Amino acid sequence: MKRFEPFVFLRELATRWDVLAFIVVIGLIAFLGETSRGLFAPLSQLNLTPISLDPIHLPEYAARTTFRMLAGLALSLVFTLTYATWAAKSERAGKLLVPILDILQSVPILGFLSITVVFFLSLAPGRVLGAEFASIFVIFTSQAWNMAFSFYQSLRTVPIELAEAAESFRLSPWMRFWQLEVPFGLPALIWNMMLSMSGGWFFVVASESITVGHTNIALPGVGSYIALAIAQRNLAAIGWAIFTMLIVILLYDQVLFRPLVAWVDRFRVEQEPGVRVPESWALTMMRRSRLILAATVAFHSAVLWTSRVVKRSDEVPVEAVVHKKRRSLDLLWVSLVVAAVVLGFWHIIAVLIRNTPLIEALQVCGLAALTMLRVFILIGFASLVWVPIGVWVGMRPRAAQFVQPIAQFMAAFPANLLFPIAVFGIVTWKLNPDIYLSPLMILGTQWYILFNVIAGASAIPAEMRYVAANFKVTGWLWWRKVALPAVLPFYVTGAITASGGSWNAAVVAELATWGDTQVRARGLGSYIAEATTAGDFHRIVLGIGTMSLFVVVINRLFWRPLYYYAERKYRLT
Q: Higher pLDDT residue, 372 or 493?
A: 372
Q: Is residue 98 part of a domain?
A: yes
Number of folded domains that form the chain = 2
> Which residues does 194 contact at the CB level (< 8 Å), separation at least 6?
257, 404, 408, 451
> Which residues does 406 contact at the CB level (< 8 Å), separation at least 6?
none
**167-185 burial by CB neighbour count: b if 16+ within 10 A, else e?**
eeeebbebbbbbbbbbbbb
| 211 shares a domain with 332 | no
Q: Is 33 exposed, middle or buried (0-12, 13-18, 19+ CB in 10 A)?
A: exposed
Query: Which of residues 351, 377, 396 is at a domain's end?
Result: 351
CA-wise closest residue to 226 among 409, 49, 433, 420: 420
In this predicted structure, what is the pLDDT of residue 1? Answer: 46
Largest CA distance in the chain: 92
Amino acid identity, position 36: S
| 73 shares a domain with 200 | yes
Q: Which CATH number do you get for residue 557?
A: 1.10.3720.10
In this predicted structure, what is the pLDDT of residue 18? Answer: 57
In this predicted structure, what is the pLDDT of residue 85? Answer: 92
| 224 shares a domain with 209 | yes
| 475 shares a domain with 342 | no
- Judge whether residue 116 has pLDDT over 70: yes
Q: How confident is the model at residue 75 (pLDDT cuts 50, 70, 90)?
A: very high
Averaged pLDDT for residues 298-312: 67
Q: How confident is the model at residue 159 (pLDDT cuts 50, 70, 90)?
A: confident
In this predicted structure, what is the pLDDT of residue 14? Answer: 47
| 183 shares a domain with 309 | yes
Q: Hey, which residues does 517 pair with through a beta bridge?
A: 514
- Judge whether residue 171 has pLDDT over 60: yes
Please give the share of the chain, as a percent, with pLDDT higher than 90: 10
In this predicted structure, what is the pLDDT of residue 388? Answer: 93
Q: Tell me the residue range of the domain where 325 lies.
A: 316-351
Q: Is residue 3 part of a domain?
A: no
Averaged pLDDT for residues 83-111: 79
Averaged pLDDT for residues 538-544: 82
| 511 shares a domain with 564 | yes
Task: Give the span between the Cα atoms of 571 and 569, in whole angstroms.
Answer: 6
Task: Give the span between the Cα atoms of 549 and 555, in whole angstroms.
Answer: 10
Q: Is residue 7 part of a domain?
A: no
Q: Higher pLDDT residue, 375 or 452?
A: 375
From residue 355, alpha-carbon distances to 533, 539, 548 in Å are 21, 10, 19
Task: Give the span between the Cα atoms of 221 and 107, in whole angstroms.
Answer: 24
| 364 shares a domain with 337 | no
In this predicted structure, what is the pLDDT of residue 472? Answer: 83
| 426 shares a domain with 338 | no
Averaged pLDDT for residues 397-408: 72
Calculate the CA 316 to chain-centre distance.
Answer: 42
In this predicted structure, what is the pLDDT of residue 10? Answer: 45
Q: Where are the alpha helices (DSSP H) in 438-536?
A: 439-442, 446-458, 462-470, 475-478, 484-509, 524-534
Task: Give the span between the Cα atoms of 523 and 538, in whole angstroms.
Answer: 18
In this predicted structure, what is the pLDDT of residue 573? Answer: 47
Query: Which of residues 330, 351, 372 is at a domain's end?
Result: 351
Q: Is residue 459 part of a domain?
A: yes
Please give the share of the chain, as a percent, with pLDDT higher than 70: 75
Q: Higher pLDDT residue, 341 or 196?
A: 196
Q: How confident is the model at residue 376 (pLDDT cuts 50, 70, 90)?
A: very high
Q: Higher pLDDT residue, 366 or 503?
A: 366
E strands, 151-232, where?
209-212, 215-218
> Which residues does 390 contact at the CB level (< 8 Å), separation at least 6?
449, 450, 451, 452, 453, 454, 456, 457, 487
| 329 shares a domain with 208 | no
Per the document, the length of the chain is: 573
Q: How confident is the model at residue 389 (pLDDT cuts 50, 70, 90)?
A: very high
Q: Specify the range with the lowest mean pLDDT, choosing from 137-141, 258-262, 321-325, 376-380.
A: 321-325
The pLDDT tens digits of the residues spanning 3-21 come to: 545 544 444 544 555 566 5
In this predicted structure, what is the pLDDT of residue 471? Answer: 86
Task: Give the span between the Cα atoms of 453 and 567, in whole angstroms.
Answer: 15
Q: Is residue 2 part of a domain?
A: no
| 22 shares a domain with 104 | yes
Q: Is residue 255 part of a domain?
A: yes
Q: Is residue 405 part of a domain?
A: yes
| 335 shares a domain with 215 | no
- Judge whether residue 411 has pLDDT over 70: no
| 444 shares a domain with 295 | yes
Name the average pLDDT for the chain: 78
In this predicted structure, what is the pLDDT of residue 387? Answer: 93
Q: Is residue 220 part of a domain?
A: yes
Query: Which of residues 351, 373, 399 is at a domain's end?
Result: 351
